Amino acid sequence: MQSTNGSDLSSKHQKQQPPPPPQPQQPQWMPNQWMGAMQYPAAAMAMMQQQQMMMMYPPHHYMAYNNPHFHYQQQYQQQQLHKQQQGSNSDEVKTIWVGDLLHWMDETYLHSFFSQSGEVSSIKIIRNKQTGQSEGYGFVEFSSRATAEKVLQSCNGSLMPNTEQPFHLNWASFGVNERRSDAGSDLSIFVGDLAADVTDTVLHETFSSKFQSVKGAKVVIDSNTGRSKGYGFVRFGDENERSTAMTEMNGVYCSSRPMRISVATPKKAFGYQQQYYSQGNLIFYPY
């Protein structure tokens, strides 16, 4: 009885004992995490080497070399520099003044003569606004100053073709394509009491010998008789020289008579007709 009871108690005690706690299992992610940690120094080393390369060779060096916009910008800057250089050369005077022209002489006549001596860029003969007739002078522009200088030296004083009239040439102080503004008349002076033998050339040389800014001179001719009306106009490019000329040149002899100087009336001074003429590829710009 006792043994039986003892065995029963022992078996009950064993049944009542709590089960042992489960053993913790090793996480499966540890090997992967460890492998990542083992690989990190190599990745860090690669990043450090890349940063060192970037410091030694900044990216903008490569972009400036490979970027097409950089090359276009260089080309644009070179073109602008070339234009500026051309602009400085274009300031050279390449235009000559041609005076004492006969009434029938036109742009074609002048071109046929001067084109034999060099390349002509443009020609214009000054015409009267009311009548459209030639005022007796004009301008010829050449492709270069050297050509214009050669023509001036070789042709000045030589006879015009088919006439007994010599060429009267001089440097023009402005370009052939320069447009006359309203202020241009304000820089003109009236010259009266001129002798009958005073021509455009004589009047021009009388003032241009003392004033460098003289742009033109015109003796007004009677369209019916072809003779001088005894007065004319001189146009300046500088206001100070214009004022000085009105004081210093008043009473000075031009040919056989003293000149009478006064302010020019804008409606009368250089009232030239603005028309366009063309002959082949040549464009004429009278004003």
Q: Starting at the edge strand that comes first in sequence, how are the strands of the sheet with 228-236 ordered?
A: 214-221, 228-236, 188-192, 260-263
Amino acid at the residue 122: S
What per-residue confidence (pLDDT) applies to 254?
A: 93
Domains identified in the chain, total number: 2
Phi, psi of 267 (to 5 degrees): -70, -20
168 with 194, same domain? no
Residue position matching structure tokens 């460890």:
34
Q: Which tokens go with 76?
A: 């644009």
Burial zone of 270 (CB within 10 Å; 0-12 exposed, 13-18 middle, 19+ buried): buried
Give the per-residue pLDDT at 49: 65
Q: Are 97 and 142 in contact (CB under 8 A)?
A: no
Residues 97 and 139 occupy one common structural domain:
yes
For residue 139, give the nearest of 182, 183, 93 by alpha carbon: 93
Please report the pLDDT score of residue 48 as a whole number.
67
SS3 call for 280: coil
As a whole number of angstroms, the distance between CA 221 and CA 197 comes to 12
User: How many residues in the chain?
Assistant: 287
Separation between Cα atoms, residue 86 and residue 144, nearest integer Å = 12
What is the tens place of the pLDDT at every residue in 117-166?
Answer: 888 989 988 887 777 788 888 899 999 999 999 998 899 888 999 988 88
What is the Cα–Cα distance from 144 to 92, expressed in whole angstroms? Answer: 8
| Enclosing H/E stretch for 233 | strand 228-236
Are 126 and 149 within one domain? yes
Residue 228 inside a domain? The answer is yes
Same domain, 108 and 187: no
Which of 38-67 are b and which e, b meaning 16 or more Cβ less than 10 Å from the residue's Cβ?
Answer: eeeeeeeeeeeeeeeeeeeeeeeeeeeeee
171 within some domain: yes
Q: How many whole angstroms separate alpha carbon 213 and alpha carbon 3?
A: 150
Instruction: Report the CATH number at residue 139.
Output: 3.30.70.330
Query: Cα(227)–Cα(19) distance, rounded to whole angstroms?
Result: 145
Domain shared by 146 and 104, yes or no = yes
Same domain, 149 and 220: no
Ranges of the chain whose pLDDT falls below 50: 1-3, 27, 29-34, 36-37, 59-77, 79-80, 82-88, 175-185, 267-287
Rounded distance between C-alpha atoms, residue 161 and residue 255, angstroms: 28
Q: What pLDDT sits at residue 150?
A: 92
Contacts of 114 (CB under 8 A, 6+ apart): 120, 123, 140, 142, 151, 155
- For residue 5, CA distances in Å to 1, 15, 16, 122 come to 6, 15, 16, 143
pTM of the model: 0.40
- Structural domain boundaries enclosing 113: 93-177
Q: Do the domain assignments include residue 216?
A: yes
Residue 59 inside a domain? The answer is no
